Amino acid sequence: MDQTQMLQAQVQQLQEQAQKLKDYVDQKQLILQAKENQLRKGLLSPDAVQNLDRKMKSDLPSWLSPGNVGDLNQVIWPFLFVTENLSPIAPEQTLRTQFSNTQEASFIVTHFTKAVYRYDAITGETKYINPDDTTTPTAGSAKDLQFSIRDGLSSREFFASAANLDEYGHPRWPTRLPAPQFIIPRGNYEITFNNNNAAEYFIPVITFFGYKMRVENAESLLSTISG
């Protein structure tokens, strides 16, 4: 092969490499254009955004309109309160505790759960009483521990007499009230625990679940609380 043929072969090889490179670039360009088109489809023009804003304002309630948090009197959110006093209750003694609603909104109580701990007065150790513990007949029981609930403002009692705490507020099956109960801002529930056990110390805790809600003329809703 003479020098001319060698040069022609090299030129042809370079042309083939250039063509492959061009094909690769063209393919990448097509991919980028396709991605750009997808992005463009996902974008809204300024007019489309304004139209959407107007449509939402006309279709949505005032408290959901874009651009503001809406009427605070129609805001509702889940909430909970826990009884405040965590002191051990000595045998055959009584403990009174409460929870107080905060001032920013009313509280609607829907259900409650309990947690009870055995307390060792000598060592100071506490042990959770698991209601599902069946290793012994009394392992999952706070025997002879009773409680009552009272509305601090109306003095309305939830029970005709003190009830056994073992029968209420299982963590997996909360006790649901027959009807939601309304507590105005700064209202409170008073809870009394009676430890009728002759030997054991208990530390009981009740957690009340429900919803905080801002409402107008909250006093007018007191009629929803039946005696």
The string of pLDDT tens digits covering residues 40-99 is 666 555 565 566 666 666 666 665 555 544 454 456 788 999 998 889 999 999 999 999
> Tens digits of per-residue pLDDT, 155-198?
889 888 999 999 999 999 999 999 899 898 899 999 999 999 99
Q: Specify the number of domains making up the chain.
A: 2
pTM value?
A: 0.63
- Residue 69 forms part of a structural domain: no
Same domain, 122 and 166: yes
Task: Say which CATH number the domain at 139 has.
Answer: 2.60.120
Same domain, 138 and 188: yes
- Residue 127 forms part of a structural domain: yes
Residue 199 confidence class, pLDDT cut points 50, 70, 90: very high
Same domain, 157 and 93: yes
- Residue 185 forms part of a structural domain: yes
- Give residue 221's pLDDT: 46
Strands 106-119 and 93-100, sheet pairing: unpaired
Domain coverage including residue 7: 3-64
- Give residue 23's pLDDT: 84
Same domain, 147 and 59: no
- Give residue 173's pLDDT: 92
